Amino acid sequence: MQPEEITNIFSSEVAEPVASPAAATSVRGVSKSFRGTVVLEDIDFDVAMGESLVLLGASGSGKTTILRIIAGLEEPDTGRVILHGKDVSELPARERGVGVIFQAYALFPRMTVERNIAYGLRIRRRPRKEINETVDELIKLVRLEEHRHKYPSQLSGGQQQRVAIARTLAYKPQVLLFDEPFGALDAQTRVRLRREIRILLKHINVPAIFITHDQEEALELGDRIAVLNAGRLEQIGTPDEVYNRPETEYVATFLGAANLLLGVVTGGGVEIGTVNIHAPEETARFREGQSVKLVFRPEDVYLSRSGALPENCQRLTNGVVEEIHFVGAYERLTLRLDLIARQPTEGAPPLYSVTINTNEKRTGIPIIVTRPKPEANSTRLQPGDRVAVGLTAFRVLPNFALASERAGSIVDIHKTT
Amino acid sequence: MRHVRGFDVVKPLSVTAMIAIMFPLVLLPLASIFLFGTSKGLGSFWAALTAPEAIFALQLSMVTSFWATVFNVIFGLFASYVLSRYNFWGRNALIVIISLPTAIPTAVAGFALLLLWGPYGTLGRLIAPHGVQVMFTAYAVILANIFVTFPLAFGVIKPVFDTMSRSLEEASATIGATRWQTFWHVTLPSLRGAIVTGALLTFARAVGEFGSTILVSGNLANRTQTAPLYIFAKFNEGQVEAANAVAIVLALFSFAIFSVLFFARDWLDTE
């Protein structure tokens, strides 16, 4: 992309004073039900000028519905949509000035590339000269010069997407909405287009909202990520925040892989079986004796055969290496921890329970560990080796009801999806 | 059957049998109108064709069929839009009713129109005192044509509407188009093939309509006599050549329409 041209097209827009510079797009308390099923529950977020927000969630999480509500293609039951300080909740789609890049691009099949891009200006009855100039600029911007007279069916998926983007940029949208923009593309094109779009957005200073179920895409595209689960906003934050400091178990397991260990808050730490992890800051928000989960990522586990752990590493326990897989960029191990579940005393309600996910008679809680190549090469491990297990990072999350049966089992998004 | 080096005897036999069955049933009758019509030379064929009554009948058929087609295509578009975009009580009943005229014998259709618009009919009685008469005029022919070809265009356009991706129209709306602009620039071009096909089918069917027209038109030469009625009348009068000349024109005409539908299919469906 050529940044200068991108800036040119939007220079007039950027120069204008913006009434509320903080939020270019706001969604306020939006709820929606379809035939009695709650699809969205009290959704609330802001997107700043030039920011890109990714709505991340599994299918059925309601992310597409949010996008359609912002675009005006769907009406919320309650709540408001505010674009650049103006409440557009009551406006029809055509008066909102949002640009939607549909999943299958929705290019007009009987119009050439040029005419597709010109459509927004033609229906606004702009002078022919202005239309031609804008179309020329945009065609150059999305590098489709030699395809301008082709029909959408003659273009590749990536080219079609560029036409779709140019078609919305032509009328200077208030916000760009991308509905699963890379779903229909092969892996290589996907990565390339992602970078291109990111560069483009940085220059045009238009807020963008992406919808995806792909965590890698979310981490790369979003200035911030909003994780949706069953119509509720679980967490919204920078990629670093949602990945490294997940606030809910869902966020921890949906974005990347996570090990979950059930424990109780005891004396400024988390007691898991026979071990107590010292974590005064993390446990400060919980009361003594509260049931919690210790959450840590496979890459935050440090294994040592000698038993010596680096300074920044909190000792968890010992374990036995059960399986080792080499998965290209890193090594993946399954480990059984020497943790024995503490039995509740007779008559007292159980504080926690640990179920081991196996039919075989094996002791210990299984976890997954990944190690980068240099580490794997310097400390070679074999199945059956005993190691000391340390954590370089972890989170303590409340243990909500019904999640107990998952404790001790391994939740691994990489493998299950 | 034995197969000799990949040669399947059943194939030529079955093809021959098929043609042999079609020959007396379809091919010979068609051939005979051409053979008979030109047996006395092209001169007499031309004279029979250019007789004022024959020209009038052909013209009347074209004009009445044209207006019936215009009406039914526009209505078919409208009805398809309403019935595939909106869900309401009685929607399926309406779809069935629109399709009903296909199943009604054309003579019944003509009779029904007579009962409604005829001088003593339910509506005819009301407008007769004002000096307006619908039956036994060209308008009656158009009404009959509309009735019998009613579902044809609808039947072709509706399925295309149903399968059309809604996201095209939604994209158009988010870009800023009004409903009318969206319909004109986005929906209609996608329906082009269906509209042309529907129109040709309707027109071909209307030009050939006989059963209902003979009842409602009165079959008045130079006034309400369409081409099929002309063929029938001339044949009854024993003027076989006159009937035959018009028959040839109608046959050629339907070949032409059929060819367009058959060979232009790809062009109609895609760009």
Q: Which residues of B touch A98 (CB under 8 A)?
A: 174
pLDDT at B261: 84
| Residues sharing a CB contact under 8 Å with residue B49, sequence separation 6 or more, in sequence order | B55, B245, B246, B248, B249
Domain positions in chain B are 1-37, 41-269
Q: Kindly list the distances between the CA atom of residue B60 and the CA atoms of A6, A166, B219, B223, B227, in Å, as whole numbers in the listed order.
A: 62, 52, 12, 8, 8
Average pLDDT of span B147-162: 92
Nearest CA to CA, how far is A168 from chain B (Å)? 7
pLDDT at B268: 65
Q: What residue of A is the nearest CA neighbor of B192? A: A110
* Range in A245-254, A354-363, B58-67, B175-184 with the lowest mean pLDDT: A354-363
User: Of A98, A124, A151, which has the smallest distance from its Cβ to B174's Cβ?
Assistant: A98
pLDDT of A230 strictly over 60 = yes
pLDDT at A208: 93
Nearest CA to CA, how far is B180 from chain A (Å)? 11
pLDDT category at B2 given cuts 50, 70, 90 is: low
Architecture of domain B41-269: Orthogonal Bundle (1.10)
Query: How many percent of chain B have pLDDT more than 90?
Result: 58
pLDDT of A27 strictly over 90 = yes
d(CA A330, CA A171): 47
pLDDT category at A157 given cuts 50, 70, 90 is: confident
Average pLDDT of span A258-276: 85
Q: Which residues of B touch A72 (CB under 8 A)?
A: 173-174
**Residue A359 CA from chain centroid, whole number:** 35
User: Of B173, B176, B186, which has the smallest distance from its Cβ to A108's Cβ?
Assistant: B186
Domain positions in chain A are 3-244, 256-416
CB contact under 8 A, B175 and A167: yes
Q: Which residues of A touch B187 (CB under 8 A)?
A: none
Average pLDDT of span A345-368: 51
Homologous superfamily (CATH) of A3-244 is P-loop containing nucleotide triphosphate hydrolases (3.40.50.300)
**ipTM of predicted assembly, 2 dp:** 0.75
User: Of A110, A120, A153, which has the smallest distance from its Cβ to B175's Cβ?
Assistant: A120
CB contact under 8 A, B185 and A119: yes
pLDDT category at A357 given cuts 50, 70, 90 is: very low
Nearest CA to CA, how far is A72 from chain B (Å)? 8
Residues linked to residue A386 through DSSP beta bridges, in sequence order: A320
Q: What residue of B is the nearest CA neighbor of A167? A: B175
**Residue B242 CA from chain centroid, whole number:** 24
Q: Which amino acid is at B164?
A: M
Average pLDDT of span B53-79: 95
Taking the CA of residue A1 as centre, how many other CA atoms within 13 Å lie in the half-sphere pointing to its CB? 25
pLDDT of A46 strictly over 60 = yes
d(CA B101, CA B202): 13
pLDDT at A22: 64
pLDDT of A14 strictly over 60 = no
pLDDT (tens digit, 9 = 90+) per residue, A95-125?
A: 999 999 998 889 999 899 999 999 999 999 9
d(CA B86, CA B70): 24
| Residues in chain A whose Cβ is within 8 Å of chain B | 71-73, 92-100, 102-104, 106, 108-111, 119-120, 122-124, 151, 153, 167-168, 171
CB contact under 8 A, A102 and B170: yes
CB contact under 8 A, B168 and A106: yes
| Residues sharing a CB contact under 8 Å with residue B64, sequence separation 6 or more, in sequence order | B138, B141, B142, B145, B206, B226
Mean confidence (pLDDT) of chain A:
82
* Range in A74-88, A137-151, A337-351, B36-50 with the lowest mean pLDDT: A337-351
Q: Which amino acid is at B100?
A: L
* Range in A54-68, A152-166, A174-188, B61-75 with the lowest mean pLDDT: A174-188
CB contact under 8 A, A102 and B171: yes
CB contact under 8 A, B192 and A72: no
Average pLDDT of span A257-268: 86
| Residues sharing a CB contact under 8 Å with residue A210, sequence separation 6 or more, in sequence order | A52, A53, A54, A55, A178, A181, A217, A218, A221, A222
CB contact under 8 A, B168 and A167: no
pLDDT category at A402 given cuts 50, 70, 90 is: very low
DSSP A289-308: T-EEEEEE-GGGEEEESSS-
Q: What residue of B is the nearest CA neighbor of A125? A: B177
pLDDT category at A6 given cuts 50, 70, 90 is: very low
Which class is domain A256-416? Answer: mainly beta
CA proximity to A57, closest of A226, A203, A191: A226
Task: Return the higher-pLDDT residue of A121 and A255.
Answer: A121
